[in-house]
Every structure is written in C-alpha cells, then in structure tokens.
Structure 1
Amino acid sequence: MSLLDEQSAVTVLGLGPMGRALAGAFLDAGLRTTVWNRTPGRDRELVERGAIGARSAREAVAASDLTVVCVVNYDAADAVLRRDAVTDALKGRTVVNLTADTPDRARDTAVWAAEHGVRYLDGAIMTPTTTIGTPAAVFILSGPEELHREHRPVLDALGGTLTHLGEEIGRAAAYDIALLDIFWTAMAGYAHALAVARAEGITARELAPFAQGIGAIMPPLFGELAEGVDSGDFSGEGNPITSSASSMAHIIHTSEAHGIDAGVMRAAEGLARRVIGLGHGTDGFIRVAEVLGRR
C-alpha cells in the first residue's frame, strides 16, 4: 500500500521542536499523521511512534486534507508551499499555518492561497513546546469561520485552548506580535534589572522572589488599563506620569554609574517626557500608548 492509498487525518510540515510536539500530540490522540521535514532524519522518532514519513513535501500534503505548517518563518514556509508540485497538490485542501511572522505576511500568504485554490487559516502558538497536547496549550487562529469549524475536531487534539479570533486573516499574527511585544520587553527589563542588581551586590537568586512579586502586579493592571485606553481615560490618579519619569531617571542614573547601558529605559523615559510635554502630566503612563499611535 502506498502512502496515498489511505488518507491521513493531518499532515505536519516542519519537524523542529515545536513541529515534533504538534505531530506527537496528533499521534497521542490516535490520529493518522503524516510528517515531513526539509532536513532528513527528523521524523525517525515520530515514525517509530506510528507516523507516516513522507518522501517529499508534495507527497506529504497530498496525504491529508489538512496540513499544519510550523517552520521558522514565512520565508521557510514559502520555500516549501510555493513550489509548483506542492501548490498543485494543495489545491482544494486546507493549510493551517502556525508559523510565526508578521500580519502582512499572513495576508500575503492568504492572497497566494486564494489564487491557487488552497483553503487557508493562519495562526500562532502562544505557549512552549512542553504544553502541547496538555490543558496548558494556547493556540489562536484567524480566517474563514467554516474552515475553523470543519477542522476543529482534529485541531482539538493539540490540547489546551484554541481561539478563533475572526475572519480577518492577519488577526492572529497581530495578536501574536502584540503579546510577544509584552513578553520580550519584559524579558529585556528583567535582564537589565539583573545587571543593575549584580552591580550593587545583589544576586539573581536574591532578587528573584521580589521580581516575582513585581510581576504579579501586572495581570490585574493589564485589564484595568485596557478599559481606560479603549474609553480614552488615561487618568494618572495615584501615579501620574511625572512620578513615573522621575523613577525612570533614577534607574538610568544608577545604571550608567555602573557603566550599564540604559538605552531601553532612556527610550521609555523619553516617551514619558514627550507625554508630559504635550500637556498630559497628570495622566498615567499608559497615555504613552495613545501618543505612540498618533500619525
């Protein structure tokens, strides 16, 4: 029996750590799963667990009505999907692209898919590989609602929460970018804090429990501040942006006294001073979001 004699429930293209986790979750759910990776050999463990190793990308996508793509970026995805043989095999089938990239790239891929008769959903994975197949996994999708409904039973095998954010195809990537903005800005702040603390004789382990306390303040603030931003209420009652700018200046002074680059904090202070200069000194720091968005 050849690979194409019996259809798989799903094909996974890309077998890096996340792609292997996705394929593994499908297998654990008992789904017939076809896998392919540009670098040979990555499928060995999955094949031993029951996956079907395709000999080519074309063979892989032809094996299933649903193909899930998870590669490093859209350049890599395009290099696989936009080859004539693969594109022809995808006609009438569905691609769910869980590759991280920009909203514009998602929209461009959707145009390509429509032009070639490929049904397309774009998405993002918001949690680490260790969560895939568990209740802690978080996925977001955007694109045609009927495609989401049709393939939801298979995608549910990935575990956790899968949220369809709407039909505008770039919406999932936009959420991904915004949420990663929070994560990497916070990580940059933590790395800087560790450098300053070490310069003052405080170890990372000593600082960590207090850092966790600061982090715990943030989640409720996100909800409270979001309501104000959407309603145009940037009130700084209790903590005006003038106070924020003052504390930022202290951080900059201490950092630079130790020869530590304070460029990120200088940028943040500059935004705060800009808000103050526009006459919003009694507002809270979140007024920066409105100023940044001005055209």
Structure 2
Amino acid sequence: MSTTPDHVTVLGLGNLGRALAETFLRHGHPTTVWNRDAAKADALVAAGATVAPSAAEAIAAGDLVIVALLDSTVARQVLATAAAAVAGRSLVNVTSGGPEDARALAAWAAEHGAQYLHGAVYAVPQTIGTTESSISYSGSETVHQRSQSRLDLLGKGTFLGADAGLASSYDVAILAGMYGMIGGFLHATAMAATAGVRATELTPMLLSWLADAFPALSTFASEIDSGDYTDGESSLAMNQAGLATIIRASQELGVPAGTLLPIKDLIDRQIADGHGAASLARAVESFRNDA
C-alpha cells in the first residue's frame, strides 16, 4: 500500500478506535483500519475507509499510526507482529496502560526506527471529535508538532513533555481520584437508601455540596507541593472526629464503611505522629511513608 502525507492508520476498532477513524474520515483524511475481527470495519468501509488484511500492511499505509487496542499487552503483541513496518512511522498510542508501559513501547519504537507519542484520552467515544473531548500527549514533540492538525481533530490536545510515561502518570492519578469519588457516591447512595431516599433525590444535593467543596482541593494542592500544612482550618483532628461519626452511622445502618476506613487510617497515622492540628492535606504524607 502507498501512503500520502495526510494518510492515517487506526489499529483497533473497539468503541474508541471506531470513533477515531470516523473522525478522520469525516474530515477527509484517507484512513486505513485494521482489527482482528475485520467485520467491525464494515461501517467504516462504507464511509470510505480502507481495510488492511494485517497490522503490518495497515501501518505501512499511514504516516500517522493511531494505536487503540484493548490494553498495553495487546498493543505490544500487535506491534511486534508488524515490527518491520514501523520504521519511519509516527506511532500515537492511545491504548490504556501505565507509565512504564508507555516508556517500554517508546523504547521499542525507537529501536525499530519509529517515533512514539503516548495519548491519554479524556472522553467517551461518542464525544471524540467534539469540544467535549480532550487528549493529553507525551513523548515525541516532533510527532506532536508534525501531526497536531490531525490530532486536534480528535479533541483538545495538550502536550505535557518528552517523557512518554508522563501522560499516563497524569491519567492514572486522575482516574484514581475519579474512582475514589465514585466509591464515595455509591457509599452515599447506599446510606441514603436505608432512609428511603432515592439516589436521584440525593444526587442534586450531593453535587451542590461537592461544587462548594472542590475549591479546597486547590488549597490542599498548594500545601502538598510546599509541604507546609500549618493552616489547620480543616484540621486532621476535626476530620478524624467527623469520619468516626460517619463510619459509625454507616455501620449502624448496616452499610459497610469500606470506602471511608482507608482515609481514616491515613488520618489516624498522622495524628498518632503528633500532627492533629495540621491541615487535612497532610494525610498525603501517610502515602509517602508507605512508599
């Protein structure tokens, strides 16, 4: 297969991969796709895509190769089957994985003559190509600059730096915060249900409270970066007492307090070390002490 400067290849046609390919096609970019189950490409073919019979042939067709596979293990396996085809290509991997996965693939790409950019997608597939989509990138700045006009079609792009693992470092940290929030939400709805309060009734009040509380995170972030926790407006001791009350109430309602016990343990350890008057943000030091 021959390639043109604006030709894009998409490896993997799950929900994300299909959305990426659809976006490139919608903007007129010649697009080659590959997927182990070729039938997933039928709708894309109808929209103008070309299906490659192998990952190697798909990579050979595009100067910009987007990798959107199940996980980092599958990404490594698929790229390994096409190692001879990647030389001179720009690989942009938006497959979920950890920072070390990204760094390992960047090293592999360099060994095989390719340039590597890692992307962390903050969007659901149906928002790809809209203002609701954003993607953080790290790795080859050359790839980001050369391909920016095409990558920006997918959503708002932010280049974080040359370390290929940096985008994933942000990603897993942000997702840890997200899942912590979801865990708290599920716990809250379980507690409310014991009083006959529906989740849809509780949620507007919870969202209102969270909106008011979120600015405190910026204050905590400054304290964490500086290591100065002397502003005890929201002290560890005060939060220890509040958490103890909530945990007891939850248990009395028959709702396990598993989402709250770990944060209380972090606080308890700091107070045991004599920091009860310090800011709640100091609880992060309990993570660091375990490192």
TM-score by length of 1: 0.94
Give 1:152-163 correspondences, 5 Å limit.
Answer: 152-159=148-155, 161-163=156-158
**CA distance in structure 2 between the aligned counterparts of 1:242 and 1:173, rounded to whole angstroms:** 35
State yes or no: 1:133 paired with 2:137: no
Which of 192, 210, 217 does residue 197 from structure 1 map onto? Answer: 192
4+ runs deviating over 6 angstroms? none
CA displacement at 1:130 relative to structure 2:
2.2
Distance in 1 (alpha carbons) for counterparts of 2:185 and 2:195: 15
Query: Where do residues 6-85 of structure 1 align in structure 2 (5 Å cutoff)?
Result: 6-7=3-4, 9-83=7-81
| Candidates 219, 223, 230, aligned match of 1:224 | 219
The question of whether the paired residues in 1 share the 8 Å contact of 2:266 and 2:283 is answered with: yes
1:87 shift after superposition: 0.9
- Provide the C-alpha distance between the structure 2 equivalents of 1:91 and 1:60, rounded to a whole number of angstroms: 13
Q: Partner letter of residue 154 of structure 2?
A: L
For residue 6 of structure 1, report the CA deviation from its aligned partner: 4.5
SS in 2 for 1:141: strand
Distance in 1 (alpha carbons) for counterparts of 2:224 and 2:175? 20
Amino acid at match of 2:259: V
CA distance in 1: counterparts of 2:261 and 2:3, whole angstroms = 60
Residue 265 of structure 1: how far off its partner (Å): 0.7
Conserved 8 A contact 1:12-1:23:
yes
* Structure 1 residue 200, shift from structure 2 partner: 2.2
Specify the alignment match of 2:99 in structure 1: 103
Q: How does 1:106-121 map to 2 (within 5 A)?
A: 106-121=102-117
Indicate if the aligned counterparts of 2:3 and 2:60 stay in contact, CA closer than 8 A.
no
Following superposition, the deviation at residue 247 of structure 1 comes to 1.4
Amino acid corresponding to residue 149 of structure 1 in structure 2: Q
Distance 1:43 1:235 in 2: 58
2:201 maps to 206
Shift of 1:236: 4.2
Alignment-mate amino acid for residue 124 of structure 1: A
Indicate the residue corresponding to 1:171 in structure 2: 166
After superposition, the Cα gap between the structure-2 partners of 1:5 and 1:113, relative to the gap in structure 1 and judged at 3 Å, is closer
Asked if residue 242 in structure 1 is aligned to residue 252 in structure 2, the reply is no
Equivalent residue for 2:118, pick from 105, 119, 122: 122
Provide the secondary structure at the position in 2 that maps to 1:139: strand
CA distance in structure 1 between the aligned counterparts of 2:216 and 2:38, rounded to whole angstroms: 47
* Sequence identity (%): 38
Cα displacement string for residues 124-148 of structure 1 (whole angstroms, at most 9, x for unaligned residues): 1012112210111110010121221
- In structure 2, distance between residues paired with 1:18 and 1:97: 12
| Residue 214 (structure 1) shift | 2.2
Q: What 5-or-longer segments of structure 1 have no aligned partner? A: none
Letter in 2 for 1:248: L
What is the aligned counterpart of 2:257 among 257, 262, 273?
262
Structure 1 distance, partners of 2:83, 2:22, is: 26
- Per-residue CA deviations over 1:42-87 (Å, capped at 9, x if unaligned) read 111111111111111111111001100111210111121011xx11
- CA–CA separation in structure 2 for the residues paired with 1:288 and 1:24: 45
Give the gaps of 5 or more residues in structure 2. Answer: none
Q: What is the TM-score with the length of structure 2 in the denominator?
A: 0.95
Deviations 1:156-179 (A, max 9, x none): 1213x1000000111000000010
State the Cα deviation string for residues 20-40 of structure 1 (Å, max 9, x = none).
111111111111111111122
What is the distance in 2 between the residues matched to 1:23 and 1:99? 15
Query: 1:201 & 1:179 partners in 2: Cα distance?
Result: 33
- Which of 271, 279, 285 is residue 274 of structure 2 equivalent to? 279
Aligned to 1:111, what secondary structure does the other structure show? helix
CA displacement 1:217-258 (0-9 Å, x = unmatched): 344222222122111222343221111111111221122123
* SS of match in other structure, 2:186: helix
Number of residue pairs matched by the alignment: 289
- The answer to whether structure 1 residue 145 and structure 2 residue 141 are counterparts is yes
Amino acid at match of 1:71: L
